[in-house]
Structure 1
Amino acid sequence: MNSRKMRGLWASLGATVTAVALTLGGAAGAQAQNQGSSSAPLTSDVVITKLSQPEAVQDYATGAEAEHPAGAYPIADVEFEARLVPGTEQGGANDIRTNAGQQYVSGLDSTTDVDEQLPTDATIAGTTDSNGQINWPDVNSGLYVVTEASTPSGVIPADDFFVSVPLTDPAGSGWLDTIYVYPKNAHINNPEDPNDPNNPNAATKTVSNADALTVGQDATWTISSPIPRLATTPGDFQATDQFVIQDTFTDEQLLVLEDSITVSAPENMQAGEHYTVVVDSADGQTEVVIEFSEQGRDALAAAVNADANARVSVNITTTVQASGAIMNTAQIIPHSSQANDPVEVSANIAYGGYQFDKVSSATGDGLQGAEFRVYDNLEDAQNGAENYLKPSGSNDGTWTSDENGQVTIDGLRYSNFADGQEIEGGEQYQTYYLVEVTAPAGHQISGDIVEFEVTDAMVVGDDVVNVPTATGGFQLPLTGGMGTAMLTILGLAILAAVIVVARRRRANADVTA
Structure 2
Amino acid sequence: MNLKNNRWIKKLGGIALSFAVLCTSCTPTFAATGSPDTSIERSLTIHKYRLEDMSHSTTEGTGQQTDVVPADAIPLPGIQFKVAKMQDNDHTKVDSTWNIQTVTTGADGAVTIRGNSNLPLGVYQIEELASPAVAVKADPFLVSLPLTNPAGDGWIYNVHVFPKNQIKPGPDIDKFVTELENKHDTADISESVKWIVETTLPDDVATCKNYTITDIIDTRLDYVPGSVKVYRVDTGKNRVLMTPDCYTVTEPNTANNRTLTVSLTDAGKKTAAKSLPNTKDKNAALNIEFNTLVNKNAEDSLGKPIPNGATIHYTNNLDIFFEPQSVPEDKKPEVHTGGINLLKVDADDNALKLQGAKFKIYRSEADAKKNINAVKDPANNAIDWEVTTDASGIAHFWGLAYGQKGQDAYYGDSTNYWIVETQAPIDNEGKPYNLLKYPVKVTVNSNSHAEANKIIVENIKHYDLPYTGGTGSLTPLYMGAALILMASGMSILFIRSKRNTEDK
TM-score when scaled to structure 2? 0.55
Higher alpha-carbon deviation: 284-293 or 217-226:
284-293
Please name the residue that 2:347 is paired with.
361
- In structure 1, the residue matched to 2:27 is 28
- State the partner residue of 1:220: 194
Going from structure 1 to structure 2, the CA distance change for 1:406 and 1:217 (only over 3 Å counts) comes to same
Superposed CA deviations along residues 58-99 of structure 1, whole A, max 9, x for unmatched, are xx99968xxxxxxxxxxxxxx963599xxxxxxxxxxxxxxx
Measured after TM superposition, the shift of residue 247 of structure 1 is 2.4
Contact 1:247 1:289 in 2 (8 A): yes
Residue 392, structure 1, aligned to residue 378, structure 2: yes
Secondary structure of 1:463's partner? Answer: strand
Question: Structure 1 counterpart of 2:175, which letter?
Answer: T
- The structure whose Rg is larger is 2
Match of 2:91 in 1: none
Cross-structure match for 1:277: 249
Matches within 5 A, 1:54-73: none
**Structure 1 residue 435: Cα displacement:** 3.3
1:491 paired residue among 477, 482, 491: 477
1:330 Cα deviation from its structure 2 partner? 2.1
**Other structure's SS at 2:276 match:** helix
Does the CA contact (< 8 Å) of 1:214 and 1:389 recur in 2? no
| Residue equivalent to 2:225 | 257
| C-alpha distance in structure 2 between counterparts of 1:256 and 1:347, whole Å | 18
| Cα drift, residue 504 of structure 1 | 8.4
Q: Determine the structure 2 residue equivalent to 1:447.
A: 438
Structure 1 position 490, deviation (Å): 4.9
Distance 1:372 1:452 in 2: 15
Shift of residue 315, structure 1, vs aligned partner? 0.8
**Which structure 2 residue ranges, 5 or more long, are not aligned?**
1-10, 34-49, 59-69, 76-102, 111-132, 139-163, 234-238, 426-431
What displacement does 1:366 show? Answer: 1.6
- Report how far residue 272 of structure 1 moved: 5.4
1:352 correspondence with 2:338: yes
Query: In the alignment, what sits opposite 1:43?
Result: none
Out of 298, 303, 306, the residue aligned to residue 326 of structure 1 is: 306
Q: Helix, strand or coil for the counterpart of 1:281?
A: coil
Say if 2:417 is the partner of 1:432: yes
Q: Distance in 1 between matches of 2:241 and 2:437?
A: 61
Q: Cα 1:249–1:113, aligned 2, differ >3 Å: closer, same or farther?
A: closer
Pairwise mapping of residues 143-154 of structure 1 onto structure 2 (< 5 A)?
none
User: CA offsets, 1:292-331, max 9 Å, x none?
Assistant: 1234334445543355510011111223322345333322
CA spacing shift, 1:24–1:289, aligned 2, 3 Å: closer
CA distance in 2, matches of 1:343, 1:431: 37
Aligned length: 354
Provide closer, same or farther for how the CA distance between residues 507 and 283 of structure 1 changes in structure 2, counting only shifts above 3 A.
Answer: farther
Aligned partner of 2:467: which letter? L
Distance 1:462 1:269, change over 3 A: closer
Name the residue aligned to 2:85.
Answer: none
Give the deviation of 1:24 after TM superposition.
5.2
**Equivalence for 2:455:** 462
How far does the alpha carbon of each residue in 1:424-459 deviate from its partner, in whole angstroms, 9 at most, with x for none?
678xx6322333344432335253632312314823
Aligned ranges for residues 28-177 of structure 1 at < 5 Å?
28=27, 50=52, 81=72
Quickly say closer, same or farther: Cα 1:185–1:362, change in 2 above 3 A: same
Shift in Å, 1:270 = 5.2
Q: Which amino acid aligns with 1:288?
A: L
Cα drift, residue 392 of structure 1: 1.1
Give the whole-Å Cα distance in 2 for the aligned partners of 1:448 and 1:206. Answer: 33
What is the alpha-carbon distance in structure 2 between the residues aligned to residue 360 and residue 417 of structure 1?
36
Query: Which residue does the alignment assign to 1:380?
Result: 367
Please report how far the alpha carbon of residue 416 of structure 1 lies from its aligned counterpart in structure 2 after TM superposition: 3.2
Question: Distance in 2 between the 1:375 and 1:452 partners?
Answer: 12
1: CA distance, partners of 2:107 / 2:209: 19
Name the structure 2 match of 1:203: 174
Q: Which amino acid in structure 1 is aligned with residue 398 of structure 2?
A: D
Q: Is the 8 A contact 2:346 2:461 kept in 1?
A: yes
Does residue 290 (structure 1) correspond to residue 262 (structure 2)? The answer is yes
How much identity, in percent, do the aligned residues show?
Answer: 17
1:476 aligns with 2:465: yes
- Residues 406 and 112 (structure 1), Cα distance of their counterparts in 2 relative to 1, 3 Å cut: closer
Which position in structure 2 is the counterpart of 1:242? 210
Give the direction of change, closer, same or farther, for the CA distance of 1:467–1:343 in structure 2 (3 Å limit).
same
Shift of 1:157: 11
> What displacement does 1:379 show?
3.3
Deviation at 1:351, TM superposition (A): 1.8
Aligned equivalents of 1:80 and 1:347: distance in 2?
40
CA contact 2:354–2:393 (8 Å) conserved in 1: yes
Secondary structure of the equivalent of 1:188? coil
Equivalent-residue separation in structure 1 for 2:21 and 2:493 (angstroms): 152
Unmatched segments (≥5 aa) in structure 1: 1-9, 36-47, 52-59, 65-78, 85-107, 116-155, 162-180, 190-201, 231-236
Q: Tell me the distance in 2 between the aligned counterparts of 1:479 and 1:12.
A: 118
RMSD (Å) for aligned C-alpha atoms? 5.0
Question: Residues 354 and 11 from structure 1, CA distance in 2 versus in 1: closer, same or farther, beyond 3 angstroms?
Answer: farther
Structure 1 residues 458-467 or 206-215, which shifts more?
Answer: 206-215
SS at match of 2:360: strand
Structure 2: distance between partners of 1:239 and 1:424: 46
